[in-house]
């Protein structure tokens, strides 16, 4: 850190941790902020990692105020489907490196983006459909969606077998399982639509 103030050229800089108040929409918020202050002219600056810590603290407070997903939660959702950051940027129609900034915590996502991300996290069918619509080629994600479909089909088949108490043939159970999966997906999409 330079010992000379950029505004007045005096060597009276000190690092201070002070309350920093800012507005976010209609809300006020305060964080504890590490700043470099000139003892002569009062100029406040951010030196070295102070600017990065400031950005992270402000973004964290905004996420808290708006009830947004944390950077770790965003990363976990991305990894759940084996998505690359660029995949999600294409699916959400956001600019390059936007997801990267969200996941690093430097910039909070909007409430609208957060809502859509929550829907994607809960509903693999919608997520798979959105991936297809965005024209994303990601074999790892396709494998995960195929596994989710197979697990859902297996669960539906097992449930129907138990319910039918072996009164149906294997072919009937498979056909009914396919119908049950379609009903489950339709129900989930209807429920998500009502929640929104």
Res. 40: pLDDT tops 80: yes
pLDDT in tens, 50-92: 999 999 999 999 999 999 999 999 999 999 999 999 999 999 9
Q: Looking at per-residue confidence, does 168 or 38 come out higher?
A: 38
Please indicate, yes or no, whether residues 102 and 158 belong to a single structural domain of this protein: yes
Res. 33: pLDDT tops 70: yes
Please indicate, yes or no, whether residues 55 and 82 belong to a single structural domain of this protein: no
Three-state SS string over 33-90 comes to EEEEEECCCCCEECCCCHHHHHHHHHHHHHHHHHCCCCHHHHHHHHHHCCCCHHHHHH
Please indicate, yes or no, whether residues 56 and 111 belong to a single structural domain of this protein: no
Please indicate, yes or no, whether residues 86 and 47 belong to a single structural domain of this protein: no
pLDDT in tens, 137-187: 999 999 999 999 898 888 888 877 777 655 656 666 677 777 878 877 777
- Is the residue at 7 inside a domain? no
Pick from 66, 81, 110: which residue ends a domain? 66
Q: Which domain holds residue 148?
A: 71-195
Please indicate, yes or no, whether residues 45 and 77 belong to a single structural domain of this protein: no
User: What six digits make up the tokens of 139?
Assistant: 């074999």
pTM equals 0.74
Number of domains in the chain: 2
Please indicate, yes or no, whether residues 38 and 79 belong to a single structural domain of this protein: no
Please indicate, yes or no, whether residues 59 and 77 belong to a single structural domain of this protein: no
């Amino acid at each position: 850190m330079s010992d000379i103030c950029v505004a007045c050229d005096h060597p009276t800089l000190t690092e201070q941790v002070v309350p920093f108040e800012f507005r976010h929409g209609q809300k006020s918020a305060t964080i504890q902020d590490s700043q470099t202050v000139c003892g002569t002219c009062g100029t406040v600056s951010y030196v070295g990692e102070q600017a990065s810590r400031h950005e992270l603290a402000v973004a964290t407070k905004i996420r808290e105020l708006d009830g947004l997903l944390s950077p770790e939660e965003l990363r976990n959702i991305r990894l759940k489907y084996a998505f690359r950051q660029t995949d999600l940027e294409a699916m959400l129609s956001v600019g390059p490196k936007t997801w990267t900034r969200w996941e690093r915590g430097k910039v909070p996502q909007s409430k609208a983006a957060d809502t859509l991300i929550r829907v994607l996290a809960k509903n693999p069918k919608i997520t798979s459909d959105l991936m297809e619509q965005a024209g994303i080629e990601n074999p790892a994600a396709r494998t995960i969606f195929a596994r989710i479909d197979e697990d859902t089909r297996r669960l539906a088949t097992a449930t129907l077998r138990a319910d039918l108490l072996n009164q149906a043939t294997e072919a009937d159970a498979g056909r009914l399982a396919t119908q049950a999966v379609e009903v489950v997906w339709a129900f989930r999409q209807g429920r998500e639509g009502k929640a929104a």
